Structure 1
Amino acid sequence: MTDPVTAGTAEPGGDRLTGRAKLILFVLCAAQFMVALDFSVLNVALPVLGKDLGLGQSALQWAVTAFALPSGGFLLLFGRIADLYGRKRMFLGGLVLFGAASMLATLAWNPASFLTGRALQGLGAALIVPTGMSLLTTTFPEGPLRAKALGISGTLLSLGFTIGMVLGGVMTDTLGWRSTMGLLTAAALIVLVLAPGLLPESRTPERPRLDVPGAVTVTGGLLALIYSLSSAAERGFGGADVWGTLVAGVALLTAFVVVETKSPAPLVSLPMLGRRTVAWGNIGGLVTFSMMSTVIFVLTLYLQETLHLSSFRTGLVFGVQGVMSALAGTLAPKVIGRIGARSTLVGSLLGQGVFTAALLAVGAGSGALLATVAVSVASMFHLGAIISYGVTVTSGVPDEEQGLATGLVTTTQQVGLTIGIPLLGVLATTRGSLFDGVRTVLAVDAAIVIAAGVLIGLGLGLRGRAKDHA
């Protein structure tokens, strides 16, 4: 029997997309592009936004963290709810929430209203990302069509982050920082108008049970941990609430591991994590996402606060990075085909670490050109690590477990974006001057990435191999 979900996606006798399938792909990719844009469009506007709303320098990271925390913490739970109650329904609900939250952030009158909008945007993204990916994989059958659809989606995700940096600079200088949030409101509205009539409904026939204890413990643990680190960035580690929430976060995450061993339908499969490629591959993804997002955050502060570049010129710095990332996107698959995904992952992490360390040569009075070159080359290795870690994690996994493997890949991405900035933000704001703090963050960041590359190489057993076969 023809699957009603996938029927009509290809022209008869071939692997070309039909007109309707192209429209469906456009809608799903536009939604993913919008979420990627949200991660970056505000970055270069942070100093201007902070002055306008009264957010102190040490509190600016909350503009990023308030979005990233719920988008990562609720990702697995919302994906499972969508399996039960309909992916299209939850996708549309995510668009409504995201659009309304973007409007609130656009009209924000104080830090509390703005951060509330950002947190609700994160919740909307946690609905859009897993349901959009599920709708894509259930709409386009396995084979060339799905590969083509996933390739287009992945490219637009990467471009969304880069274009957001450039757009953020241009729009902040010409229209003000609020226009960046207004852009997201308009994007959500456009997708919401097109999606209902195009997207098919999709749900799993197995009706899996909700792992509510797992969702509560992992989300609560991440919330407590990020709150602790972000508070320490503002006030240091002297407060009782900082240590209290840090301990609570570790305890809840430990409880999450215990819960998952007993749950009949776990959010995260612990046996899956026992696979060497899955475990070390996800560690590589976690490191590259968390550390590169931190580099971009502190460089934004350095370029605008230390070198006094405008938002527009800062955006151009990261625009060059985007061009290099696009180049890396075309080269990485060829490198993987030649030396293997695991070797590419290790080499990319080492390259990212080396060129992050090169940023230590920037000075307090100059360094924009060096920053542009170093962060651009580092971003090439960063994208190489992103592509190769996904291949590493999913290689050798049986078809019936591919959903779990790809779910871990997406979760690692979101959690990495969540924890990097608050984790090292403590160092940026407690080391004297901003310039000294930025250099400290870059040094620690580079050391972590290089150490991770070495450990992952050992963990994957690459010693003495000219080529792996992941």
Structure 2
Amino acid sequence: MRTAARTLVLPLALAQFIASYAASNMNVAITTIADDIGTSVGGIQATITFFTLTMAALMIPGSKLTDIWGRKFCFNLGMIIYGAGALIASFAQGLGLLVIGYSVLEGVGSALMIPPIYILITVAFEDVASRGKYFGIVSGAAGLGSASGPLIGGLITSSLGWRWSFLAQFAVVVLILLLARAIPEPARTGTPPKFDIGGAVLSAAGLFLVVSGILFSNSYGMISWQVFVPVLAGLAVLVFFLRYLALRERSGKVPLLAPRLFRNRTSNLGLSTQLVQWLIMQGSFFVISVYIQQVRHYDAIHTGLLLTPATVGVLLASAIAGRMARRRPQAILVRGGFVLTTIGMVLVPLLVREDSAVWTFVPGLFLMGFGVGVMLTASVNVVQSSFGDEDQADISGLSRSLSNLGSSLGVAIAGSILVAASGQRLGTPFAVALGLLAGISLLGLLAAAFLPIKRPPVSSATGEAAS
């Protein structure tokens, strides 16, 4: 059983790692890439933004395709498209080819391969504790990829050149495809549904507008028409999308997302906590990274090293996720994760000063990483376990879309807070930003407080929680 689990989970965890790495490593090489291919820093930043938009807009349609083409097939197809994009980007001599390789192909590949990661684990392991263990491994890989992206990317760019970062991604993709040959394709149940093109267009358009408006706040601030217009337009499209889903279901056709997903109270609360978790994680890491570079004057490599306690916290929480899931209800773990993360976010500005020792970063960052690792794993478990096999594609796409939305919101809100706090002289901008993000974390804790407590199953033979 353990050998079969490793065979399944290892390529999935590597895929999640490489997808998270792709989203974070480019930031340390912006100037280098711009100089090398003869474009502007703004052009590279737009390329990174377009990657995020592509992935966010196509996550729900990409997830639905797993019901039509198969979970393993979509995972492999996503990896192939992603690998092709990485290879093309590595040879880019201008901005156009970089956009095609990184923004388009890696974005499309991510939208196809990420949802099957969570679906395959959910359908392979029936009990919550086992899912918790392997979701923990995947969540740890996601956290490691996101946190180590700047460090690894900085090391590769400094020693070999930025193109080698894409070549390294291509090499990992080849390894994943080799390992993925042993992944069993889950048996199909029933006739594959027809793809809802209208729903796919509406969901992609709505998410594209909302996320683009959020990302525009980095340039124009949160309070500007450049932000409000696309966000409001996107929300209007998404409201129409929800009505469209209900009408399509009433007409006897299969919608892109089943409307019943939105009527599950436990899942809705879990999705809310996921959005807040990714928001505070990406927002706080952004604030701390900017502080380290602008106030402490560390380069990208040393910034990544200084963030290591958070990475260790995520990995430690992920390593014991299965054990925690056997001993504690998932709702309790989500609440505890929020508490630890909030304490960590408060400790950082309390202990860290411009000239303080490096160790002052450790307590807060470790608690943040450990708390995030605990609640991310538990929230995913709550959401995915709220539905049966027939709804796994729908809920996985919705879950990943909200996580992407939370990440975009976190960076946008954090950046706007830093600018506003600096302009209004509200004290230390970084402390203000972390303080407000800690307040948002408490809203996540409030949502988690309403999650129903379901005790881990107990084995009648041993009297212990079943694994």
Fold-level similarity (TM above 0.5): yes
Answer yes or no: is 1:426 the counterpart of 2:410: no
Report the CA distance between 1:69 and its aligned residue: 2.7
Q: Cα distance 1:417–1:105, how it changes in 2: closer, same or farther (>3 A)?
A: farther
Which residue matches 1:442? Answer: 434
Report the CA distance between 1:339 and its aligned residue: 4.2
Using the alignment, how far apart are the partners of 1:125 and 1:206 within structure 2?
Answer: 26
Correspondence list, 1:57-456, <5 A: 64-108=48-92, 114-120=98-104, 121-134=106-119, 140=124, 152-192=137-177, 205-236=190-221, 240-264=225-249, 265-361=254-350, 362-366=352-356, 368-395=358-385, 397=387, 401=391, 404-432=394-422, 437-456=429-448
Stretch moving more, 172-181 or 71-80: 172-181
Q: Cα distance 1:228–1:112, how it changes in 2: closer, same or farther (>3 A)?
A: farther
Report the CA distance between 1:185 and its aligned residue: 2.5
Give the alignment's TM-score, normalised by structure 2. Answer: 0.80
Report the CA distance between 1:452 and its aligned residue: 2.3
Report the CA distance between 1:345 and its aligned residue: 1.0
Using the alignment, how far apart are the partners of 2:451 and 2:185 within structure 1?
Answer: 41
Which residue matches 1:12? Answer: none
Instruction: Specify the code of the residue in structure 1 equivalent to 2:208.
Output: L
Report the CA distance between 1:416 and its aligned residue: 2.6
Q: Root-mean-square deviation (CA), in Å?
A: 3.7
1:460 aligned to 446, 451, 455, which one?
Answer: 451
What SS class does the counterpart of residue 41 from structure 1 fall into?
Answer: helix
Using the alignment, how far apart are the partners of 2:11 and 2:376 within structure 1?
Answer: 24
Using the alignment, how far apart are the partners of 1:269 and 1:28 within structure 2?
Answer: 26
Using the alignment, how far apart are the partners of 2:61 and 2:368 within structure 1?
Answer: 33
Using the alignment, how far apart are the partners of 1:246 and 1:37 within structure 2?
Answer: 27
Do the aligned residues in 1 keep the contact of 2:135 with 2:377 (CA within 8 Å)? Answer: no
Instruction: Specify the code of the residue in structure 2 equivalent to 1:102.
Output: A
Using the alignment, how far apart are the partners of 2:9 and 2:446 within structure 1?
Answer: 39
Answer yes or no: is 1:37 the counterpart of 2:28: no
Which residue matches 1:55? Answer: 41
Q: Cα distance 1:77–1:422, how it changes in 2: closer, same or farther (>3 A)?
A: same
Report the CA distance between 1:384 and its aligned residue: 0.9
* 1:306-333 Cα distance to aligned partner (Å, 9 max, x none): 3111222112122332222222224444
Using the alignment, how far apart are the partners of 1:400 and 1:185 within structure 2?
Answer: 33
Answer yes or no: is 1:469 the counterpart of 2:455: yes
Do the aligned residues in 2 keep the contact of 1:47 with 1:301 (CA within 8 Å)? Answer: no
Using the alignment, how far apart are the partners of 2:177 and 2:323 within structure 1?
Answer: 37
Stretch moving more, 211-220 or 26-35: 26-35
Q: Cα distance 1:137–1:197, how it changes in 2: closer, same or farther (>3 A)?
A: same
Report the CA distance between 1:24 and its aligned residue: 6.0
Report the CA distance between 1:286 and its aligned residue: 0.9
Q: Cα distance 1:106–1:419, how it changes in 2: closer, same or farther (>3 A)?
A: farther
Report the CA distance between 1:280 and its aligned residue: 0.9
The percentage of aligned residue pairs carrying the same residue is: 24
Instruction: Specify the code of the residue in structure 1 equivalent to 2:68.
Output: L
Using the alignment, how far apart are the partners of 1:144 and 1:165 within structure 2?
Answer: 33
Report the CA distance between 1:153 and its aligned residue: 4.4
What SS class does the counterpart of residue 62 from structure 2 fall into?
Answer: helix
Report the CA distance between 1:175 and its aligned residue: 2.8
Report the CA distance between 1:419 and its aligned residue: 3.3
Which residue matches 1:7? Answer: none
Do the aligned residues in 1 keep the contact of 2:202 with 2:238 (CA within 8 Å)? Answer: yes
Q: Cα distance 1:79–1:204, how it changes in 2: closer, same or farther (>3 A)?
A: farther
Stretch moving more, 107-116 or 119-128: 107-116
Using the alignment, how far apart are the partners of 1:292 and 1:384 within structure 2?
Answer: 13
Do the aligned residues in 2 keep the contact of 1:307 with 1:366 (CA within 8 Å)? Answer: no
Which residue matches 1:9? Answer: none
Q: Cα distance 1:117–1:373, how it changes in 2: closer, same or farther (>3 A)?
A: farther
Using the alignment, how far apart are the partners of 2:431 and 2:135 within structure 1?
Answer: 38
Report the CA distance between 1:382 and its aligned residue: 0.8
Stretch moving more, 354-363 or 212-221: 354-363
Using the alignment, how far apart are the partners of 2:76 and 2:311 within structure 1?
Answer: 30
* 1:265-307 Cα distance to aligned partner (Å, 9 max, x none): 2333333332221111110111001220122223222222331
Report the CA distance between 1:386 and its aligned residue: 0.6
